[in-house]
């Protein structure tokens, strides 16, 4: 009798490989999974398998691999358009890497009524910018959708509870809490239950029930220790210090230690929030203003505005007593004129992007999304564009005895102000559009007066052709009034 050996098809082999990788992920063997993914020819992965591989890469934290797998499909380099599920997976990786605006654009292109998961991921984008009000609406839409899996529903409810507590919408909290307490428990879902306890403690702090808050936080801390929830443990410790300080009417000095832990763990928003509570308790207006100008989120800034008498139009980001002078970002020049950058050029735009957040260092992808706002991130080519710009900026800083130096750690960048120097920041965040920045420089020099193209060229320090392009761009958008024609043309900036 003839026995024919049948080899498994490539589909079957690939299915088995995905299952093997899934098993490794579930057993916590992330390094083995990462080693395998990095050895693969990502461009050869079959379309029907890309989503599964990208999902695995995202779950082990190898987000750039996830982007490389899905980028050709998302950006139209394949015959078939991307599915909503592929878009969500790609947007999730973008958000986690810092390209929140691009992620949001992708998610808003999805019909969330057909795939409610898009509501949830859009809410995550907004929460990352402290925009809880709109996030509440999205989370409620997700929860009102049919067919939501029980665990995803609980995740959304915990996020909704967090948003309601943050916005102090106390009358809406009880209903969400009642729903959660039916399905979330210390045995079945210990991390979610710990999050709920922490949020109940925040609510107790807001209503000045200090003992209740401290008791809830102690219960949450014990649960997190069992569940190995290091992120949650840090937040619990932060709120415990706040509650104890409020109860005892003293400064929460232990927050400095917690802030240091947050920085070591890369929990940048927790570090920012520690600074807020320290300055709030001390009624330290200079520290609150530093926090204000070092925070790019409008909703967080509005919270600070309630605690200070007035926010100035400009503020000097300095280190130590000012002895060397201040570099005005809006004018792209030092106040004494001894140091200048070309307004709107790459180094100027990078300097602005790096001056927007004193707490969260900038990743390459977040810098790309700010500097090249009209372009989509390409994981193969975009990082080099940013690195070239950073190289030029570093060279300019070092060669010109500029007020700051560029520091890098694990692929993330921040500015360090040099003692005695300052960078002057504006209350209204500066655009990183090169046209807007050139226009800002013109406005600083020529606001309220008529000027010629030649005078604009002199202020900008660029060629006649570049000046004419800017004036035409500004005129077309109603930012500039043109009077006269040809050689007699004169311009006036619109307020």
Q: What is the per-residue pLDDT across 272-321, written as a single tens digit (0 to 9) for each?
A: 999 999 999 999 999 999 999 999 999 999 999 999 999 999 999 998 88
What is the rounded distance in angstroms from the CA atom of residue 138 to the CA atom of residue 125?
Answer: 11
What is the rounded distance in angstroms from the CA atom of residue 158 to the CA atom of residue 136?
Answer: 11
Return the pLDDT at 9: 47
How does DSSP classify residue 188? T
| Angle made by CA atoms 289, 290, 293, in degrees to the nearest 5 | 85
Return the pLDDT at 227: 67
Name the residue among 210, 205, 199 with its Cα closest to residue 235. 199
Name the residue among 151, 154, 162, 246 with its Cα closest to residue 202. 162
Residues of the chain with pLDDT under 70: 1-13, 227-231, 485-487
For 284-293, b/e burial (b = at least 16 CB within 10 A) is eeeebbbbbb
Return the pLDDT at 4: 38
Q: Are strands 421-426 and 325-328 parallel, antiparallel or unpaired?
A: parallel
| pTM of the complete model | 0.86
Residue 426: its H or E element: strand 421-426
For 54-70, b/e burial (b = at least 16 CB within 10 A) is bbbbbebebbbbbbbbb
Return the pLDDT at 291: 98
Name the residue among 227, 237, 267 with its Cα closest to residue 360. 267
Contact 13, 47 (CB under 8 A): no
CA distances from 435 to 152, 308, 336 (A): 44, 33, 24
CA atoms lying within 13 Å on the CB side of residue 79: 2
Give the neighbor-by-neighbor strand order of the sheet with 333-334.
314-318, 421-426, 325-328, 333-334
Residue found by looking up tokens 């358009």 in the block = 81
User: Which residues on neighbouring strands pair with residue 491, listed in sequence order?
Assistant: 451, 482
Decide: helix, strand or coil at residue 451: strand
Return the pLDDT at 12: 52
Return the pLDDT at 434: 77
Q: Residue 348 has which token pair?
A: 């100027």
Q: Residue 106 has which token pair?
A: 């992708």
* Other CB atoms within 10 Å distance of the CB of residue 440: 20
Return the pLDDT at 229: 53
CA atoms lying within 13 Å on the CB side of residue 56: 27
E-assigned strand segments in 272-410: 314-318, 325-328, 333-334, 362-363, 404-409
Q: Are strands 421-426 and 314-318 parallel, antiparallel or unpaired?
A: antiparallel
Q: Residue 42 has which token pair?
A: 């990502």
Contact 220, 201 (CB under 8 A): yes
Q: Are strands 404-409 and 412-417 parallel, antiparallel or unpaired?
A: antiparallel
Contact 159, 139 (CB under 8 A): yes
For 395-404, b/e burial (b = at least 16 CB within 10 A) is ebbeeeebbb
């Amino acid at each position: 009798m003839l026995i024919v050996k049948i080899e498994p098809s490539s589909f079957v082999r690939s299915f088995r490989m995905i299952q093997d990788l899934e098993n490794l992920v579930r057993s916590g063997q992330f390094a083995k999974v990462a080693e395998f993914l990095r050895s693969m020819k990502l461009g050869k992965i079959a379309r029907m398998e890309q989503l599964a591989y990208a999902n695995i890469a995202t779950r082990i934290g190898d987000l750039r691999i996830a982007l490389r797998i899905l980028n050709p499909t998302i950006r139209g380099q394949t015959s078939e358009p991307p599915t909503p599920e592929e878009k969500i997976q790609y947007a999730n990786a973008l958000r986690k890497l810092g390209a929140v605006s691009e992620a949001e654009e992708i998610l808003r292109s999805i019909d969330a009524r057909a795939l409610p998961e898009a509501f949830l991921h859009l809410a995550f984008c907004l929460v990352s910018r402290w925009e809880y009000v709109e996030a509440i609406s999205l989370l409620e839409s997700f929860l009102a959708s049919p067919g939501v899996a029980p665990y995803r529903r609980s995740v959304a409810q915990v996020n909704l509870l967090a948003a309601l507590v943050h916005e102090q919408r106390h009358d809406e909290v009880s209903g969400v809490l009642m729903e959660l307490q039916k399905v979330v428990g210390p045995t079945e879902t210990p991390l979610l239950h710990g999050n709920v306890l922490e949020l109940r403690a925040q609510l107790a702090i807001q209503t000045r029930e200090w003992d209740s808050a401290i008791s809830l936080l102690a219960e949450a801390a014990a649960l997190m220790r069992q569940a190995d929830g290091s992120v949650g443990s840090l937040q619990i410790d932060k709120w415990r210090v706040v509650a104890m300080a409020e109860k005892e009417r003293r400064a929460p000095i232990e927050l400095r230690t917690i802030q240091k832990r947050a920085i070591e763990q890369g929990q940048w928003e927790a570090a920012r929030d520690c600074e807020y509570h320290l300055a709030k308790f001390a009624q330290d207006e200079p520290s609150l203003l530093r926090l204000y100008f070092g925070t790019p989120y409008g909703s967080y800034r509005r919270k600070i505005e309630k605690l200070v008498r007035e926010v100035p139009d400009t503020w000097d980001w300095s280190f130590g007593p000012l002895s060397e002078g201040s570099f005005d970002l809006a004018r792209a020049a030092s106040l004494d004129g001894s140091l200048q950058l070309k307004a709107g050029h790459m180094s100027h735009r990078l300097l602005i992007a790096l001056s927007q957040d004193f707490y969260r260092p900038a990743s390459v992808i977040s810098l790309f999304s700010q500097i090249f706002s009209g372009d989509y991130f390409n994981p193969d080519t975009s990082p080099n564009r940013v690195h070239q710009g950073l190289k030029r900026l570093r060279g300019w800083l070092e060669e010109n005895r500029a007020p700051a130096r560029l520091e890098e750690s694990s692929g993330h960048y921040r500015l360090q102000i040099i003692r005695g120097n300052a960078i002057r920041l504006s209350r209204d965040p500066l655009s990183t559009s090169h046209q807007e920045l050139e226009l800002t420089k013109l406005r600083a020099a020529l606001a309220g007066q008529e000027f010629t193209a030649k005078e604009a060229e002199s202020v900008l320090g660029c060629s006649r052709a570049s000046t004419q392009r800017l004036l035409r761009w500004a005129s077309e958008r109603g930012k500039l009034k043109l009077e006269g024609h040809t050689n007699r043309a004169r311009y006036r900036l619109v307020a």
